[in-house]
Structure 1
């Protein structure tokens, strides 16, 4: 059965007009949900203090671009390449950042609450003052960040090290949802995790 196509007074299919309207108003209710940048070349561009809420940046090239102060709540950034990109002061909460390249990216004072960073590379990223509360980060990546994490987020007031779960405590040692060591700790852990007694292999529960 053929679907009926509604044509507006301008002769343009109504759906096309609706899509254009959504894009022009930056999405549903004007909150940025229809912006599409999938696979786009955004390298070395300036998009500071913009609204990218629920936008799609899947596989986009964002290298050395300036997104400082911008809002990305609920945006999709999986597989995006953001080498040396500037996200300082940006709101990246509730974003999907799986397999994202963030080498040497500037995340100073950024909010990454509940963001998903599984299999993402943050090598050399600037994270002073960043808030990673409840973010999903691979255990080895989290441990690397904890080696130099400092500062307190000026917006949320949360300490960067605390938000990453740095330190030797039961919650912090197993707090990374992307780690194979989920929920309650087992009796023994491999020494590579760095939280256990070398002789017994048992973890110090505080």
Structure 2
């Protein structure tokens, strides 16, 4: 009886170790990333230059991904997570980013022209330095004081969808 229990215990341990080795060697098997972007993983990936323009990617998970120069022009990204992602030089113009999470994201030199960011999160060390924000709507977006001050210096235009002026949505003086 004890031999049988010992064999079962060894088999169980081997099964767990085998499974962990499979997941460790292929991170794509460890998680599916979330969101509707097919079965492709978009979380923690290098998606530099990828074209997502015009796509509907509601609640898509781009956490910790590298999205430099990615094209999201006109994409519907409601509730998408860009937590700790690198969006340097990304095109987010005309995108619907309501409720998106940009916490800790690098959004420098991005094009946010006419983007709707109503209710998006931009907490922590999120940076919009060098970004184009003409016509962007930042209604109810929590921003650090230094980021709000910087964005107010470059803010202009009116969002074509919401009709809100960028400076007003940033609460510029």
Query: Per-residue displacement from partner, 1:28-56 (whole Å, max 9, x unpaired)?
Result: xxxx6987411111101211000110010
> What is the CA distance between 1:85 and its match in structure 2?
0.4
Structure of greater relative contact order (alpha carbons < 8 Å, 6+ residues apart): 2
Gaps spanning 5+ residues in structure 1: where?
Answer: 1-22, 168-206
SS in 2 for 1:48: coil
The normalised TM-score by structure 1 is: 0.64
1:146 aligns with 2:152: yes
Residue in structure 1 matched with residue 11 of structure 2 by the alignment: none
Cα distance in 1, alignment partners of residues 163 and 81 from structure 2: 26
Partner of 1:111: 116
Match of 2:131 in 1: 125
Aligned to 2:12: none
Match of 1:195 in 2: none
Contact 1:33-1:54 within 8 A present in 2 as well: no
C-alpha RMSD of matched pairs (Å): 1.7
Q: Are 2:38 and 1:42 aligned?
A: no
- TM-score, normalisation: structure 2: 0.76
